[in-house]
Amino acid sequence: MLQFIYSQLIRLALPFILLRLWWQGRQAPELRINWQQRLGFVPRTSGTVVWVHAVSVGETIAAAPMVRRLLARNPDITILMTAMTDTGLTQAMKMFGDQVQYAYAPYDTPGSIRRFLNRANPRILVIMETEIWPNMIRQSRSRRVPVFLINARLSERSARGYERVKSLVAPIMRSISWVAAQAEKDAERFRRIGVAASKVSVTGSVKFDVDIPEAVRKISFQLRASLSDRPVWIAGSTHEGEEAQILAAHRQILEAHPSALLIIVPRHPERFESVADTIIQQGFSLARRSRGDGLVGAEVYLGDTMGELMMLYGASDAAFVGGSLIKRGGHNPLEPAGWGIPVISGPNVFNFETIYQRLVDDRGVVIVSGADELFQHLSTLFDDVDERRASGQRALSVVNKNRGALDRVVDGIIERV
């Protein structure tokens, strides 16, 4: 009954969801491209199809090493990657080109999911992290399509929320074939909300298996070489409410290091223009990557392109990971850690609690509360080359020490394909 009520509510909401999509498309026309796919009208797919669903950019990047490994292990399979956002699909296309197929994920109405499954005909569904869509999961299992929740994480707050509607959630959880949890506490929370203990494994986080393609390294090294010996720091995946604090810290840095360069990469592309305006209004000289601006004389470099954050991390001497000075829950600190550069974060990192705990335990990250502490730590790193290198190596060692989850996950998927 609860599943039926949920489905009816989603159906009733669908016209308003599509209207919102059309409205957002005024500023971002790419949102209106292939909108029919969101109703399940995707191109028909043949062969052994592994459906990999990643909600947006972060999950897509996390899925990349797994997808590469799957293709290497079994070149005959067809990978169909889906995302809820245009930025997620853009990221996937940038990474894989014509190696995989792409589509928007269908909205979770019974009809949309049915049409999608009829056309895609997947052999297996791999969901990254914690995208729990009742109709997607239940209909897949009703067709005997195994559903894997990979790199799964579940915060205590989310677990309590699911427990409040356990009568709805438990049947969905029982439809999941395998949960590959990041940590034991994630596994315990999934068991609490209805996943059978025998279906839950603790594999670790695949994000520790950081994969930096050689082409990305090459572009990064070229950019770094063009900056000569300038001190460079980056603020990646920033959100509204963070740029002001970041720019305040950079203003103080410039007083001690006049040639310093800050690279800012906002999390969402629709904020590129507003962030550029903020930078100019605060009196900083700005260069924009999308325009190919030269960096001579620039105090701030705006990374307003898609899919280049990993490359820009590699061109920097230290990295601040955004989404953490506000109550957003943070973003992936292992991307800069994989380059062996110092990692700095705000205190709000509940979306990556296991990863951050391991970094904290081995002094691979420094947590700051605001602009002043951010400035103070950056100043120390720029003044002390040995400490900067040691800090970066500590972060990298955490990455290397925790590798291996990817092999366990890929083995589990290959066994069932």
How far is residue 303 from each of residues 4, 235, 344, measured CA to CA in Å? 45, 10, 19
Backbone angles phi, psi at 327, to 5 degrees: -85, 60
Question: What distance in Å separates the CA atoms of residue 362 and residue 343, rounded to the nearest whole number?
Answer: 12
Nearest CA among 125, 138, 140, 109 for reference residue 38: 109
Determine how β-strand 101-104 pairs with β-strand 78-83.
parallel
Element housing 126 (H / E): strand 124-128
Q: Identify the three-state secondary structure at position 217.
A: helix
90, 306 Cβ separation under 8 angstroms: yes
DSSP element (H, E) containing 51: strand 49-53
Q: Would residue 242 show up in a list of annotated catalytic residues for this protein?
A: no
The single residue of 59, 299, 308, 335 carrying the catalytic annotation is 59
d(CA 372, CA 403): 34
- State how beta strands 124-128 and 101-104 pair: unpaired
Longest dimension (CA), the chain: 65
Backbone angles phi, psi at 192, to 5 degrees: -60, -35
Q: How far apart are the first and last CA of the chain?
A: 33
What is the sign of the dihedral through the CA atoms of 228, 230, 236 and 241? negative
> In whole angstroms, what is the distance from residue 276 CA to residue 301 CA?
10
Q: For residue 15, count other CB atoms closer than 10 A to its CB.
A: 9
Question: Which residues are identified as catalytic?
Answer: 59
